[in-house]
Structure formats: structure tokens, C-alpha cells
């Protein structure tokens, strides 16, 4: 089954009682049992819900995975992964990653005896010098948020397997339409479903996809025990959104390429970050492990003036200034004060996340209007 067919059909069956083609919203907290323990596979909706089950199967199919698990947010899904470990364990993460992930690692889990190393992974061979007997997990995003760095998933997988580590990949920016990390050797794939998978800025959700049966059982235990599960309404909306994922991602990518081309030649643009550029340091790796390069773009203006960046962001007509990304509408974001404000200034500076950096989530509008909007806002 090819991707577009999976997006529409995987995990989804007509309702057996009515023939409804859309998965029903099973808006229930509990299920009637014929006798104690004698039920139809469902006892309590924190543990299992038919609408959520359909979505989990659908996401697993898109990632070529055996198992899918959905959570109340992307951070809740990462939280479940880190709960696999115990005090004294160490995790190596990329030094450019979503600010909420950094905050979860440093402000929550570090208090419980877990140690985190944040390193540059653009050359994956550099990872090995940080591995010791306590290391348990490599955690990467690719493309990274917001610097659009590319990390070699297969190379990271080879290192993880050599040392008996788990490899987790945040695949939010690429989606399974552009990249399937499990096929490249990852153990766990994570999504902020809020973004491209749901795709309409009306859902907050996270998901994990994986192949190992025992690991899936352990994470399902945490999912149920910790209780950060999404409701059936959000599951229904996400199933509906995923049905057009392949069409939306095609348009996001086409628009992203056109806008990157426009910004690349703009006299007021200083640095442009998009993995589809031949000048990108790891463009060759991106080309090898991704189907295309997506609609996320970051850039700075010449002079690197924060106030000028603010003026540009306040001047857009079609790009809305807001948190998040991946919706059908175009968004503009100021990482230093919004999505990455929880990362200390000094750490942001080390990776090039300047106060003047602007991040675009290119939507699916007519690209001529988006380029005209960029033109008038920058000029």
C-alpha cells in the first residue's frame, strides 16, 4: 500500500453497526461488561478507546511501524520515553532542539538523577566521545528546530546499535511523507501530531511509532499509568487531517522551495536555513534520507537587528505571528522569545539561534501571495 492510500485507509474500517465510512467518535469514559472481566476489548478510555486505536494504527502504518501510541501532546510522548530510564542513566541529545524538549530534560528529569548531554550532531561520529556505560538513549531531531540542521539517522543508528543504545527521532518537521526514521534504523519515532499530521491548528497531540514488541508494551504501560492520553474528539480530527497529509506536504514543500529561492536572492537576507539548499552543510544527507525538504525555513536579516526582525514579523498580512507550525496557514515565529525562550541565551548563541532569527512555517496558500507578503514585510 502506497503512502496516500495508507493515509486514507490504514487502521480505518467502516463502522460495523452502521456502515459509517468515518470512524465514529467514541465519546465514552467506560464500557459495559457482561461479567467481571468479560468485555469486548475495552474497559476504560484512558487505557483504550476505539477512535484512538484507529488513529494509532494509522500513524504506525505511515511510519512503517508495528506499533503506534498517541499522547495528549508531543511533550507527553517524550515524557513517556524518558520514563523508561532510571536515576544515573544518561541521554545524549542534539544541541539544537525544540525548547520544550530542552525544558523537559533540564528542568524536570534532571531533578530525578538523569544526566543530559547536548551536543552538535551534524557529524554523527562526534557522538561517540560522549558515550559511556551509563548512556541509554540518543535523541535527535532532523531537520532541527529552528536551525534546520540535518543529522544522519542511519549513521546515528549504527552508533546506537554498536553501543546497545536506543535511538529516538523527533520526525515532526519532516513527517513520514518525507522521511521514515525506522527504515533508517531508529528505534522510536516521535511526532508532535499538533503540527503537520493533524495539520489544521485545531488539535494538541503527540505520538510514538516503533517496532519492538517489548518496548511498545513498556511505553503502553507508561501511557496508561501516567494517563496523558488524547480524547476521542482530537483523535477523530487527527484521522481526518491525516487523510490529506500527502497532498498538504506536497504543497508545503513546493511553496517552501519557492520561498527559499526568493529569500536566497534577497539583498536584505543574511543567513538562510533550509536543507534543500545545495549550500546547506548536510544537504547530501538530507537528499539521501528525505524524499523532499519541507516547508520549514529560518533566516536572519543583514545587520542582525532584533528590532528590525520584530518590525518584519509585525508587518505580515498572510503569515500570522504565532506559536506552533505545520498548519495549512502560514505562520511566522520568533524562536528566541517564543518556542525557544526556555533555552538560556548563552546556549542559543552557541548554536547560532540569534535574537534576530525568524522562523517560517510555510502554508499551502498560493505561493505568489506568500512571496508578495514577504516582499512587502521585509521591504
Catalytic entry in 96, 170, 187, 292: 170
Per-residue DSSP letter, 35? B
CB 272 within 8 A of CB 299: yes
Kindly report the number of other CB atoms within 10 A of residue 311's CB atom. Answer: 13
Sheet containing strand 358-361, edge to edge, reads 269-273, 296-301, 358-361, 331-333, 320-321
Instruction: Pick the catalytic residue from 26, 53, 79, 98.
Output: 98
CB 300 within 8 A of CB 358: yes
Active site (annotated) includes residue 98: yes
Catalytic residue, candidates 31, 42, 46, 103: 46
What contacts 377, CB < 8 A, 6 or more positions away?
312, 313, 315, 316, 317, 319
Is residue 195 annotated as part of the catalytic site, yes or no?
Answer: yes
Which strands sit side by side in the sheet containing 135-141, from one edge to the other?
A: 67-71, 206-210, 188-192, 166-170, 135-141, 90-94, 115-119
Categorise residue 86: left if φ over 0, alpha if ψ from -120 to 50, beta otherwise: beta
Q: Nearest-CA neighbor of 60 among 294, 228, 232, 220?
A: 220
87 neighbors 97 (Cβ within 8 angstroms): no
**Selection from 350, 332, 273, 267 nearest residue 303 by Cα:** 267
Annotated active-site residue in 6, 52, 136, 195: 195
Beta strands in 35-89 (DSSP E): 67-71
Helices (H) and strands (E) in the chain, counts: 13, 12
| Catalytic (active site) residue 177 | no
Q: How far apart are CA 153 and CA 91, in angstroms?
A: 17
Catalytic site positions: 46, 98, 170, 195
Amino acid at each position: 500500500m502506497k503512502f496516500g492510500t495508507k493515509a486514507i485507509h490504514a487502521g480505518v474500517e467502516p463502522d460495523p453497526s452502521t456502515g459509517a465510512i468515518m470512524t465514529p467518535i467514541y465519546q465514552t469514559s467506560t464500557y459495559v461488561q457482561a461479567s467481571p472481566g468479560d468485555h469486548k476489548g475495552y474497559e476504560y478510555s484512558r487505557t483504550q478507546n476505539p477512535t484512538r486505536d484507529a488513529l494509532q494504527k494509522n500513524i504506525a502504518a505511515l511510519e512503517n511501524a508495528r506499533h503506534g501510541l498517541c499522547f495528549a501532546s508531543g511533550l507527553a510522548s517524550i515524557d513517556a520515553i524518558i520514563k523508561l530510564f532510571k536515576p544515573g542513566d544518561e541521554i545524549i541529545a542534539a544541541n539544537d532542539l525544540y525548547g520544550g524538549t530542552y525544558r523537559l530534560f533540564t528542568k524536570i528529569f534532571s531533578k530525578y538523577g538523569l544526566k543530559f548531554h547536548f551536543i552538535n550532531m551534524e557529524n554523527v561520529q562526534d557522538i561517540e566521545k560522549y558515550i559511556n556505560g551509563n548512556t541509554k538513549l540518543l535523541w535527535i531531531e532532523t531537520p532541527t528546530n529552528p536551525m534546520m540542521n540535518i543529522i544522519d539517522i542511519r549513521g546515528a543508528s549504527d552508533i546506537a546499535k554498536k553501543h546497545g543504545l536506543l535511538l529516538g527521532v523527533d520526525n515532526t518537521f519532516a513527517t513520514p511523507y518525507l522521511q521514515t526514521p525506522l527504515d533508517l534504523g531508529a528505534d522510536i519515532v516521535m511526532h508532535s501530531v499538533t503540527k503537520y499530521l493533524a495539520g489544521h491548528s485545531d488539535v494538541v497531540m503527540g505520538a510514538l511509532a516503533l517496532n519492538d514488541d517489548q518496548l511498545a508494551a513498556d511505553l503502553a504501560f507508561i501511557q496508561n499509568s501516567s494517563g496523558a492520553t488524547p480524547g476521542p474528539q482530537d483523535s477523530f480530527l487527527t484521522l481526518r487531517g491525516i487523510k490529506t497529509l500527502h497532498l498538504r506536504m506536497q504543497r508545503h514543500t513546493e511553496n517552501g522551495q519557492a520561498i527559499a529561492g526568493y529569500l536566497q536572492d534577497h539583498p536584505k537576507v543574511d543567513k538562510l536555513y533550509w536543507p534543500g539548499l545545495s549550500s546547506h552543510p548536510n544537504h547530501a544527507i538530507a537528499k539521501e534520507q528525505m524524499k523532499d525538504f519541507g516547508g520549514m525555513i529560518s533566516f536572519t536579516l543583514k545587520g542582525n537587528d532584533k528590532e528590525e526582525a520584530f518590525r518584519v514579523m509585525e508587518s505580515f498580512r498572510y503569515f500570522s505571528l504565532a506559536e506552533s507550525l505545520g498548519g495549512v496557514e502560514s505562520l511566522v515565529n520568533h524562536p528566541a522569545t517564543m518556542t525557544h525562550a526556555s533555552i538560556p541565551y548563552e546556549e542559543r548563541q552557541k548554536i547560532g539561534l540569534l535574537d534576530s532569527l525568524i522562523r517560517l512555517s510555510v502554508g499551502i496558500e498560493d505561493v505568489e501571495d506568500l512571496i508578495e507578503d514577504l516582499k512587502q514585510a521585509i521591504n
